[in-house]
Every structure is written in C-alpha cells, then in structure tokens.
Amino acid sequence: MTVIQRPQDKLRTPKPLKKPARFTPPWPLNLYQTAIGKKWVMGLTGLGLVGFVVAHMIGNLHLYEGQLEVAEYAHSLRTIGAGLVPETAVLWVLRLGLISMFGLHIHSAITLSAMNRAANSRYQAPRDFAAANFASRTTRITGIIIALFVVWHLADLTWGFTGGFMGWRGDGFNHGDPLWNVDNSMSNVVIAIWYMIATTAVAVHLFHGIRSAFISIGLSSPKFNPLIKPLAAGIAGLVLVGNLSFPIMVMTGALEADEPLDVHELIATEFKEAAE
Amino acid sequence: MEETLNITLKVWRQDGPDERGRFETYDAPNIGTDMSFLEMLDVVNENLNEDGNEPIAFESDCREGICGTCDLMIDGKAHGPEKGTATCQLHMRKYSDGDTIVIEPFRAASFPILKDLAVNRSALDAIVMAGGFISVNTGAAPDANLIPVPKEASDQAFDAAACIGCGACVAACPNSAAQLFTSAKIQHMNLLPQGQAERWKRTEAMVETMEMFFGSCTNHGECHDACPKEIPLDLIAWTNRDYIKSKNKNRKLAGQKG
Ligand code: SF4
Ligand code: FES
C-alpha cells in the first residue's frame, strides 16, 4: 500500500509505523499479514477454543458419576473411532487441531499487541474509561495466566509430572484414573486455590473474548447485538460454576477416591464389555 | 444574574513537536456557566496575553459540532464528560465552582503534537485519500431518486456519514486504533449503490493505509463512547467482513485483467 500525498502534504503526513511487507504469500495466507486478518484468526480460533473449554467442563462432570464411570469416560475419549483407526489416532487429530488453535491464538495476540504498543502514545494524566471493562482491559493478563495454567494442568493431570511435587501431592499419579488424580491434586489447598484462580481467569477471558470474537469476524448487527452480551456472560458463567465446583467439592470431601483403580485390568475386562 | 465559576486548569504545554512537554496550572476565575469550554479557554488565553505570556494553542473552527477540529482530552475523556458532543459543544454549566480540569492533547503515535494541545491528524486524511471517495463523471445533475436506495441502507449510511473526522475514536482507544473512523468512512459508501463499483478496492486500500498508522482494535468500545456523533460499533464488524471479502474479490478481479 502506498500513501497518497499531495505535494503540500509532504511535510505533514507522519511516517508510517509499519514498513510494507517484503514478501507477500499467496491468498489466503496473505490475510495473516494484516491486522484484520489476524483478528479473524484470533476470533475463529478463540471460538474454537471456547467450544473445547465448554466440552471439557461438561466432560468433567463425569467426575460426579463416580470413579469407575469417569475412568471409563476417559478411556472412551482415548479410543474414539477405535474400530476403524488405530487407538488414540482420532484423539491425536483433535489434539493437533487444539494445539494449532492455541498456537495461532497466542501468536496473533502477541503480534497484535506489539503493533498496538507501537501505535500508542501514553497519556500523562489518568484516563477515565467508560466502555472498557475489567474483562476487556485484562485479556492479556488473563491470557498469560491461562497459558501458564494449561502447561501446569497438563503436567499435573495428564502427564502426572507433579506426582511427588515437593511432597505436596498425596499418593502419586495413577494414569487413566481421573478422580484419584483430581482428589490427590486438589486436596492440597495451594493447588486448589491455583485451580480456582485459573478457572476464574478463563471465565473473565471468555466474557470479553466471546463478545470480541463476534465483532472481529463481522457478526454484528442491530438485531443480533442484544443477544451477544448475555450469551458471553452465560457461557462464561457456566464454565466458571462448573469448573469451580471441582476444587471446592474436593476440599469439602464430597469428591473423593479411596483406592486407585487398576486401569489395565479394567480396560481388559469391564470397559471392553461396556463397549460391546 | 448569571452564575460564575472559579476553575483551576491543568494544561499540557509543549513548545514544539520535539520539545519536552509539561503540565502547567492556570486559574480561570469568573467563568460564566453559559460559556462553552472553548470560550473558557479563550478567556484564559486573553488573560495570558495581557500578562505577556504565550497563550495556549488549541484548535477549533466551526464551534457548532460539525467540523471535528476541536480535539481535547478533558479529564481523561476525549471531548470531555458529555456524551455525544464535541468539545465545542461542552458547556461550563457541566462543572461546579472550584473544579480542577486536566486538559491534554489527543495522543497516538501517528498524532504528533504540533504545539500545546494541537496535534497533526494528517494520518486520517491519508486513509480517506486511499479510497474514501466515489468516482463519477460530472455532467448534468442526475434526477433525484433516480437510483432507488432501501430505507435501511440509507439510514445506516447516514449514521456512518455523520463522522466528522475528529479522531476522538483514536484518542480514546487504549490501542490507538482508528477502526471506528475508517469503518465510518468506508461504510457510508459501501452501504449505498453509488459506492459499489469501488467497494472492494476502497475497503482494501483504506484498511491497509489505516494499519500503517494506527493500532488494531480489541473491541473495548471506548471509541463509540467518545465519539461526538455516536457512530455505531457495528460498522467495525461490517468492515472486518468486507475486508476479508475484498482480499478475495480483488485477487479475482486482478486475475481477469488480460
Ligand atoms: S468516528 Fe466519531 S470519534 Fe471517530 S473521527 Fe468520526 S466522529 Fe470522530
Ligand atoms: S469546533 Fe467544529 S466541531 Fe468543535
């Protein structure tokens, strides 16, 4: 893009903040070079991740069914489409989709933030914001909390690295036994509080993110707008209540596992029967 | 009898584009409540002049809310506390005796300060010059209503066309994004039949010029709140949609060139 300048403007139009791109990839990749294209990516990946967060929260509710049932649910996730493709193949396709959505979401956030920092010049007196709310002003902070939390959460409840973490955690990690692991992790007050902070950060992030995504991908109209805020608040609230309940229930002792399950044994026997 | 106020001002003073600025405090005694904000500044400037001091540089032109020249950041709000009005339409009756008012210029990396409260907003002109027009062959004026326009489209185009180009949306935005201004300037033509011929060229050119100077929108909505014409946020969404389409359409049109 070249800036048109009338001769008398030569001195007046400020220098562009952005240099023209040296190399333009073919469509549609060139969209990602522009801020609005990045916002589309951010909005679409964001909505995809919202879908994941909601599905994850609903899946978590299996914890309330009992130790055996939630282990069976976990097993069935790992073996989606097991009759047709190798075990965990479908799961890995889903996981790769999730990882790339996370990656793109974070990358576009970082590059857009850098652009905004360059375009900004700080006011010397305090600002009086009218429309920007707590959620919208803190998306970057809640985003960083969520990114850290995701790493922790995988280490804690997927990989089990935190099994003997500084002696904080109870009786170690039992692969494929969610209730046992959740109970052991969240019986520690510090870990439970960290889960609650992160869950709150997710909800706050979603509240602004969902509303924002609709504008970024051009879904906004006088008729549709009054629905967007309640929708965002509803989804954020649902995720918040659902996910906060787990650390709270573990601490009150309502969610408890007495014995680790012998998951290998179960896969060979009961889960197989259930599948058939 | 007319009431009068005694106001204290904290005003940003900066001698030139590359000088260091600072806040200076001035007394504004005996300000009539019927005065506009700019008239109050005029009084302060007269006093400064009489004492042999440099008056405060600020911009204004029409003083009736239609030109978009009067840009002040008043107590951390673009165009001051009153909603839907430009600085010149803000009146001193909004304030009470003894108030302290902080006045800063509009700030953004692409709004360099010229002097005191006056900033250079030529970057906004660059966006309009990139495509904020329709090309018509002049001749006899066409008959009125020759081209039918749906009522909804004409209403929305009018809402968008109300933008006076003041730049308050940029000043209010925590990211210094110019999306509300650019969207208003794009959509008041994209919504009408007369704007269709250059729709995709216009959208691509104006958005990409905007991105050279300004930040990117994170959908806070501060711009709409500061805007003296209350330009709707929907225009931003529609521009986001048009821009994505334009990249594809312009590519196809380019392919048709022999
Ligand atoms: S959109 Fe509103 S705030 Fe922005 S330049 Fe136009 S009139 Fe001013
Ligand atoms: S001086 Fe023209 S809009 Fe205020």
Answer for the pair B130, A3: CB distance below 8 angstroms, yes or no: yes
- A23 falls in which pLDDT band (50, 70, 90)? confident
The protein residue whose alpha carbon is closest to atom 1 in ligand 2 is: B63
A121 to B214: CB separation less than 8 angstroms, yes or no: no
Which pLDDT does position A183 carry in this prediction?
Answer: 87
- Shared domain for B133 and B168, answered yes or no, is yes
- A7 falls in which pLDDT band (50, 70, 90)? low
**Average pLDDT for residues A45-63, to the nearest whole number?**
95
A35-123+134-275: CATH number = 1.20.1300.10
Report yes or no on B169 lying in a domain.
yes
Structure tokens at A107: 């990358």
- A170 falls in which pLDDT band (50, 70, 90)? low
Check pLDDT > 50 for residue B49: yes
At B145-167, the pLDDT tens digits run 888 999 999 999 999 999 999 99
Ligand 1 mutation pick, B166, B214, B223, B230, max ligand atoms within 8 A of CB: B166
Domain span holding position B94: 4-115
CATH number of the domain within which B31 lies: 3.10.20.30
Query: Hey, what's the torsion of the CAs at A35, A39, A42, A48, to 10 degrees?
Result: -150
Instruction: Pick the closest to residue A122 from B106, B155, B206, B184 (CA basis).
Output: B106
The protein residue whose alpha carbon is closest to atom 6 in ligand 1 is: B163
d(CA A90, CA A79): 8
Answer for the pair B91, B33: CB distance below 8 angstroms, yes or no: yes
Check pLDDT > 90 for residue A266: no
**Average pLDDT for residues B108-137, to the nearest whole number?**
91
**Average pLDDT for residues A103-128, to the nearest whole number?**
92
- B258 falls in which pLDDT band (50, 70, 90)? very low
At B2-37, the pLDDT tens digits run 688 999 999 999 998 888 999 999 999 999 999 999
| CA atoms A214, A217, A222, A224: torsion sign | negative
Which pLDDT does position A18 carry in this prediction?
Answer: 81
- Select from B85, B115, B145 the last residue of a domain: B115
- Shared domain for B139 and B249, answered yes or no, is yes
**Average pLDDT for residues B103-124, to the nearest whole number?**
92
Which pLDDT does position A275 carry in this prediction?
Answer: 62
CATH number of the domain within which B155 lies: 1.10.1060.10
Check pLDDT > 80 for residue A272: no
Any atom of ligand 2 within 6 Å of the Cβ of B69 = yes
Phi, psi (5° rounding) for residue A93? -60, -45
Report yes or no on B23 lying in a domain.
yes
- Shared domain for B140 and B229, answered yes or no, is yes
- Shared domain for B231 and B141, answered yes or no, is yes
Instruction: Collapse the DSSP code of B42 into the 3-class scheme (helix H, G, I; strand E, B; otherwise coil) and give the result.
Output: helix
Which pLDDT does position A6 carry in this prediction?
Answer: 52
Q: How far is the CA of B235 from the centre of ligand 1 (A)?
A: 12
pLDDT > 90 in chain A, percent: 46
Q: Which residue has the higher pLDDT, B216 or A121?
A: B216
Instruction: Confirm or reject contact between B243 and chain A (CB < 8 A).
Output: yes
- Select from B82, B97, B115 the last residue of a domain: B115
Q: Beta strands of A109-199 (E only): which ranges?
A: none
End-to-end CA distance of chain A: 62
Which pLDDT does position B33 carry in this prediction?
Answer: 92
Answer for the pair A68, A261: CB distance below 8 angstroms, yes or no: yes
Answer for the pair B5, B92: CB distance below 8 angstroms, yes or no: yes
**pTM of the entire structure?**
0.90
Q: To the nearest whole angstrom, how far is the Cα of B38 from the nearest Cα of chain A? A: 20
Report yes or no on B69 lying in a domain.
yes
- Shared domain for B97 and B153, answered yes or no, is no
Report yes or no on B219 lying in a domain.
yes
Rounded to two decimals, the ipTM of the complex is 0.89
At A225-262, the pLDDT tens digits run 899 999 999 999 999 999 999 999 998 888 888 888 88
**Average pLDDT for residues B51-65, to the nearest whole number?**
93
- Across the interface, of A34, A131, A215, the residue whose CB is closest to B225 is A131
Burial of B71 (0-12, 13-18, 19+ CB in 10 A): buried
- Shared domain for B93 and B127, answered yes or no, is no
How many domains does chain B divide into?
A: 2
Q: Which ligand is nearest to the CA of B173?
A: 1
